[in-house]
Structure 1
């Protein structure tokens, strides 16, 4: 389902003492302590029954069968994960013909564009905010409430809210009798896609959310029960070489990974760029690329630029059930390209990935690989939880709080002051 290469195998020989059993056991215990402390509730999400979601689907079955649009009002962790999973799975036959849109910015041009031709009659608006106090989300929420008169008694079923239990937004929903689903306050936004934040819209679109969680559970069991150490070793290598290789490149081989790449950048950047317990600035900078497109752009910098990057190749063994082939056509003057004739595009992309990987390794760039057998709910759930768990492991080694974002709060404070004093 999901295959991981021996992490930075060529380079690990220089750090063999790092991967000794005692070292790995000590590191594993630290992760176990963090999970059991409930510092973050995402660790438990693969094992939740999600009854609230299924109750909502059953209660609103007739209405949900009538809609053509789902509009998610939310920003960052409230939208990126859902967008990523839908992009990865939208080729599947069980994906309903419902348009999924996101209101996640305060650009008035884009707001008007995104809501053009939207009628409330065939639309469900899902508002996602942990507290309801995020300025972008609440401002957009107020706008759709006014534009579509969603607080009228006969329109309230066009609105659903996902928020923290007992948050100000949750209390408002109870007061206004708005349907809502709550999540635990200890589940941060960027770690929330396997909660109702992602699962409710994905279930409405027709995806098998139980299979998504099953994939996540497999990664969790491999780590915590079977004690497979590939994630531990990768985290150890990255943090040991934090100053040598401060940039981590995710090279994803298919355009369907574009939104997943954006989710990865937020997860990695917002989680790991922090002051540590000694008030030292720590972090690993994420870069996300798409193959083969970025072979013609950023690859040059990796090959001959500063040797300060590690690269993870993400690919799918079988991207399409129906192969597409390059025709056996020879064009005058272009005969040098004929060597790929009659090859499937899937094989071409796969060999481009392998060739790029080998060329990068020839320049002594640390490389590892993640290969999915195919794109389905289970493999995507596994991929998401793999990256969440890897992020937590790196955060523990960096001695930071992986789950807060104090740097972001500075900007919010300044914005409020500008409005208060203007």
Structure 2
């Protein structure tokens, strides 16, 4: 279960903006309803489809003997091809069902990081998964070439079995896999990378790691169904508030109170930034700037700016219900000169973290800064599925109000074109 609380009306000047009328809510809902109906993006269907589950189960069944022996999975992909998977594993890695398989990521061409990630990686117990919509993204293709060369993966049928391609139907990478008789799992072309984690891009590796991916999709499907049955109106209200106040509050902070959210925050930053920073239909540049913070760590590096800097930010607090985490506790110890810290003695670390979040949230609210709070009852597959689809739907709603295409990335493509031009003159 996820609990949603919005405090946008704590500031009297914002109350009329925090409670949009029914006509406004209906208007935004209709935009998203038509997007799904017209299949503008395939992500809307992912929680309800069986394709990812069936394709993943088929791959695992056909390669069971090999997969039973692997100790490492190396993901080669960038952005949406890796961030969602990394986020979910980071949130759920504490579960007892998580297999003891090392998960490594090759995401960019930093030579130091590449060497570090491949240290002690041996071909005999490793599966290399190349995830790319096309296979032509220069970081992914370069890293794939490096790994294939380093481990002689194209040498014969046995070495090729250590490779798996996850890509768009009939993409260049798809055809390469078919030609070289490398296992290929395809996804719909209509699913953008940053919206793809509930497809085989995320489902297959997560299944290999031992997670219950059916429950992940069920959680996402339950929340999405509730949304389209008008049972999650808070999401529409938040989208309208953020979009209509984009000039006053152009910065949106996700302040997550657990280190388990670190990679999820990175996924959010890409989803929000790449989806919403666009030209609208009138040729005007629009967008919202995402910032990722982890509490309580970033209370000591960013809270000062939030409370007494420019009031141009909204804050979403994200946390886990701490009542079940009663250990470890702070020992009842008192030291000379440190008596001022004794007020927390006997308190669990989880409770302390929760109270730190409460104190931070109340401090920010007292300054009139718009906040809301999402709390997960527990970190499990269903709740993570709900959290993923919540942020995807929120992004689509804001993009709809902005009159933009939330699912392309022309600015990113310009950078790719410029890179090719630079290489031509070298």
User: TM range, normalised to the smaller chain?
Assistant: over 0.9
Deviations 1:30-83 (A, max 9, x none): 110011111110011100112111111111222111111000000010011111
Deviation, structure 1 residue 321: 4.9
Hey, what's the Cα distance between the residues in 1 that align with 2:120 and 2:189? 36
Give the TM-score, by structure 2 length. Answer: 0.97
SS at match of 2:161: helix
Q: Does 1:107 align with 2:123?
A: no
Partner of 1:24 in structure 2? 25
Distance across 2 between alignment mates of 1:263 and 1:236: 22
Say which is worse superposed, 110-119 or 128-137, in terms of deviation: 110-119
* 1:223 partnered with 2:237: no
- How big is each residue's C-alpha offset from its partner over 1:122-151, in whole Å with a ceiling of 9 and x where there is no partner? 000000010111000001111111111112
Whether 1:42 and 2:46 are equivalent positions in the alignment is no
Deviates more, 1:259-268 or 1:147-156: 147-156
1:369, 1:289 → 2: CA distance?
14
The residue aligned with 1:263 is 267
Change (3 A) 1:96 1:291: same
SS in 2 for 1:28: helix
Cα distance in 1 for partners of 2:32, 2:199 equals 21
CA distance in 2, matches of 1:355, 1:249: 17
2:142 pairs with 1:139 = yes
Distance 1:79 1:356 in 2: 32
Question: Counterpart of 1:53?
Answer: 56
TM norm structure 1: 0.98
> 2:230 & 2:399 partners in 1: Cα distance?
22
CA distance in 1, matches of 2:388, 2:359: 26
Q: Does structure 2 retain, via aligned residues, the 8 Å contact 1:271–1:405?
A: yes
Q: Is the 8 A contact 2:326 2:350 kept in 1?
A: no
**What is the CA distance between 1:172 and its match in structure 2?**
1.1
Contact 2:322 2:354 in 1 (8 A): no
The CA deviation at 1:350 is 0.6
User: What is the rounded CA distance, in whole Å, between the counterparts of 1:7 and 1:357 in structure 2?
Assistant: 10
Query: Using the alignment, how far apart are the partners of 2:371 and 2:325 within structure 1?
Result: 29
Q: Contact (CA 8 Å) 2:6, 2:371: kept in 1 or not?
A: no
* Structure 1 position 241 matched with structure 2 position 245: yes
Distance 1:38 1:98 in 2: 37
Matching of residues 200-211 of structure 1 within 5 Å:
200-211=204-215
2:76 corresponding residue in structure 1: 73
**2:107 pairs with 1:126:** no
CA gap of 1:123–1:47, structure 2 versus 1, over 3 A, is same
Aligned equivalent of 1:8: 8
Provide the C-alpha distance between the structure 2 equivalents of 1:4 and 1:228, rounded to a whole number of angstroms.
9
State the SS of the aligned residue for 2:321. strand
Alpha-carbon offset, residue 228 of structure 1: 2.3
RMSD: 1.3
Q: Closer, same or farther in 2 for the Cα pair 1:319/1:35, shift >3 Å? A: farther
Equivalent in the alignment of 1:372: 376
> In the alignment, which residue of structure 2 is the partner of 1:355?
359
Task: Map Cα deviations across residues 185-212 of structure 1 (whole Å, 9 max, x no partner).
Answer: 0100111111111111111010000111
Name the residue aligned to 1:116: 119
- Whole-angstrom CA distance in 1 between matches of 2:250 and 2:30: 26
Q: Name the SS of the counterpart of 1:401 in structure 2.
A: coil
Distance in 2 between the 1:251 and 1:137 partners?
A: 31
Structure 2 SS opposite 1:312: strand
Equivalent in 336, 342, 348 of residue 338 of structure 1: 342
Q: Distance in 1 between matches of 2:323 and 2:122?
A: 36
Is 2:421 the counterpart of 1:417? yes
Unaligned runs of 5+ in 2: none
